Amino acid sequence: MSSGGFPFFRLLVIAGAIFASVSSEFLPTGLLPEMAAELKVSESQIGLLVTVFAATVVLSTAPLTVLTRRYSRKWLMVVLLGVFAVTNVLCAIAPSYEFLLGARILGGLAHGLFWAVTGPYAALLVPKHQLARAISVTNAGGTAAFILGVPLGSALGHALDWRLAFAVMAGVVVLFMLLVVLFLPPVSHLVTLATGEIALPVRKDRSVPAVVIVCITVILVITGHNVFYTYIAPWSIQVGGVPESGVPGLLFAYGAAGAIGLILGGAFGDRFPRGSVNLAFAGVAVSILLLCLFGTSVVPVVVGLVLWSIFFGGVPALMHSRVLHSASERIRDLAAASLTTAFNIAIGGGALLGGALLDGFGIAVLPWAAAGLIVLALVVAVSTDRVRIAAHPS
C-alpha cells in the first residue's frame, strides 16, 4: 500500500496496460469488412472472433487465477502483456481464419487473468477509503480504449492495412509492458495466517456470499446494457431518425460522456458507495426509458444517449470497487476473477438476448427490455445491501 499519498502515476500505468488490453480485444469490430474480404469469410465470422474471445475469458479466468495465485502480481502482469503482444503479432501475420481464431483464443486466456490481477493490484496500492478513486483511474484505460484505441486502430486499418493495425497495437502493448517493468513496485498479495490459524477452503470464506451478490447484480445490469447498446447503431437509424453518416459522431459523444461518468464515479464512489451505485443504476434506467418514450428524432436521441452514458460510465469501476470491498483480502483475486467472468457472461448474453428479441419482436423492443433488466438490477442491489454488508462489513 502506498504511504506517500495517492499513487496517481502508478495507477495511470495500470490504466495504460488496461487500455492496450481492451483495445486489443475489440479491434476486430472496427475492421470487419477488410478482414473478412482478405480471409474470404463472412463478416459474421469475423464478429465471432469477439464472441470466442469473451467465451474463452468466461471459461478460463477462474481456473487460471487459482493456478497462478502464488505468482508475483507485477511479473504476472508483465507476462500477460507479453502474451497480448504476441497475440497481436499472430493476428497481423495470420495466413488463415483458423489461425486467427487460435490467436484470439490465446488472447482470451490472458485477458481474463489480466483483469483478475489488475484490480487487486490497484487495491494494494491504496487504503480502502481511496479504492473507488483508484479503480476509476485504472478503469479509465478501458474507457480510453473505446474513445481512442479502437477508433484509431480502425482508422489505421481502413487507411492502410488491417494487419498493420494489429502490428501497431502489438507495439503499444510492449510500450506499456515496459512501463509496468520500470514503474510498478512488487506487492505482497498473499495473506499471512496468524499463529495457530488454519487456512479454510475458499468456499467457507465468510465474504463469498457478498461476492456472489455483486456478481449477480453485474450480470443483470450489464446484460441489460448490452441488450440495447449492442444494437444501438441500427436502432438510432431505424427508430431514432439519425442519419447513417451521423452514427460515428453519436458513438463518439456516447464514449466521451462515459468518461464524465467515470470521473463522477471516482469522485463520489468512496464517500457514498451505496448511493453512487443506486443513483447510477436508476439514472441509466430512466435515461433508457426516456429514449423509449421520446427517442424518435435526433435531438432527444443525442440527449438520452449522453445521459445514459454519463450514468453508466462509472458503473464498471463502482462494481469493481464494490467486489473488492466485499471480498476478504485472501480471496480478492478470485473475487476479481469472478467479476470478470460475470462481465463477460453479460456482454455475450446481452448481445444474444438482444438479437433474439430483435428477431422475434423488432428493434423497438430493445430499450424496454434493457430498462427492465436494469430496474431489476437496482432492486437486487438495494434489497441485498444488508446481506452483502453483513457477509463482509467494510
- Last residue of some domain: 131, 160, 192? 192
Give pLDDT, residue 190: 53
Residues 11 and 76 in one domain: yes
Q: Please give the C-alpha separations between residue 305 and each of 180, 223, 253, 365, in angstroms, as whole numbers.
A: 35, 17, 8, 17
The identity of residue 5, as a single letter, is: G
Q: What is the pLDDT of residues 126-166, one digit of tens each?
A: 887 888 788 888 888 887 887 777 777 877 887 888 899 89
Task: Give the model's confidence band at 195: pLDDT under 50 very low, under 70 low, under 90 confident, else very high.
Answer: very low
Give pLDDT, residue 196: 45
Residues 178 and 305 in one domain: no
Query: Rounded to a whole number, what is the distance in angstroms from the first to the last CA of the chain?
Result: 17
Query: What is the sign of the dihedral through the CA atoms of 49, 50, 55 and 60?
Result: positive
Q: What is the pLDDT of residues 211-267, one digit of tens each?
A: 999 999 999 999 999 888 878 878 888 899 988 778 778 877 888 888 899 889 888
Cα 367 from Cα 375, distance rounded (Å): 12
What cell numbers appear for 201 in the block?
A: 477452503
Q: How many CA atoms lie within 13 A of 322 on its CB side?
A: 29
Give pLDDT, residue 26: 74
Residues 387 and 246 in one domain: yes
Reported residue count of the chain is 394
Residues 236 and 139 in one domain: no
Task: Give the model's confidence band at 81: pLDDT under 50 very low, under 70 low, under 90 confident, else very high.
Answer: very high
Q: How many helices (DSSP H) and strands (DSSP E) are in the chain?
A: 17, 0
Cα 289 from Cα 285, distance rounded (Å): 6
Q: Please give the C-alpha separations between residue 233 and each of 19, 222, 244, 347, in angstroms, as whole numbers.
A: 24, 18, 8, 17
Higher-scoring residue by pLDDT: 32, 97: 97
Angle at the Cα of 81 (from 77 to 85), degrees rounded to 5?
170
Higher-scoring residue by pLDDT: 287, 46: 287
Task: Give the model's confidence band at 193: pLDDT under 50 very low, under 70 low, under 90 confident, else very high.
Answer: very low
Cα 199 from Cα 191, distance rounded (Å): 10
Higher-scoring residue by pLDDT: 316, 328: 316
Residues 213 and 351 in one domain: yes
Residues 253 and 118 in one domain: no
* Dihedral angle, C-alpha 239, 241, 247, 253, nearest 10 °: -90
Has residue 12 been placed in a domain?
A: yes
Q: If 0-12 CB within 10 Å is exposed, 13-18 middle and 19+ buried, where does residue 195 land?
A: exposed
Has residue 2 been placed in a domain?
A: no
Average pLDDT, the chain: 85
Contact 159, 35 (CB under 8 A): no
Contact 317, 268 (CB under 8 A): no
Residue 89 scores a pLDDT above 60: yes
- Last residue of some domain: 192, 222, 250? 192
Give every CB contact of residue 256 below 8 A, 6+ residues apart in sequence.
147
Has residue 1 been placed in a domain?
A: no
2: left (phi over 0), alpha (psi -120 to 50) or beta: beta
Give pLDDT, residue 375: 97
Residue 1 scores a pLDDT above 60: no
Residues 222 and 130 in one domain: no
Residues 174 and 244 in one domain: no
Has residue 340 been placed in a domain?
A: yes
| Domain total in the chain | 2
> Which domain does 210 fall in, by range?
202-393
Give pLDDT, residue 156: 81
Average pLDDT rounded to a whole number, residues 277-283: 96
Has residue 187 been placed in a domain?
A: yes
φ, ψ of residue 187 in degrees (nearest 5): -125, 155
CATH number, domain containing residue 214: 1.20.1250.20
Local structure of residue 41 (DSSP, 8 states): -
Cα 257 from Cα 312, distance rounded (Å): 9
What cell numbers appear for 213 in the block?
A: 451478490
Buried b (16+ CB within 10 A) or exposed e, 146-179: bbebbbbbbebbeeeebbebbbbbbebbbebbeb
Cα 80 from Cα 112, distance rounded (Å): 10
What cell numbers appear for 264 in the block?
A: 463522477
Cα 130 from Cα 108, distance rounded (Å): 30
SS3 state of residue 53? helix
Has residue 142 been placed in a domain?
A: yes
Average pLDDT rounded to a whole number, residues 183-188: 82
Residues 240 and 173 in one domain: no
Residues 69 and 145 in one domain: yes
Residues 221 and 186 in one domain: no
Residues 101 and 184 in one domain: yes
Min mean pLDDT across 30-34, 191-195, 231-235, 279-283 is at 191-195
Has residue 343 been placed in a domain?
A: yes
Cα 122 from Cα 63, distance rounded (Å): 22
- Stated pTM of the model: 0.78
- Last residue of some domain: 192, 214, 233? 192
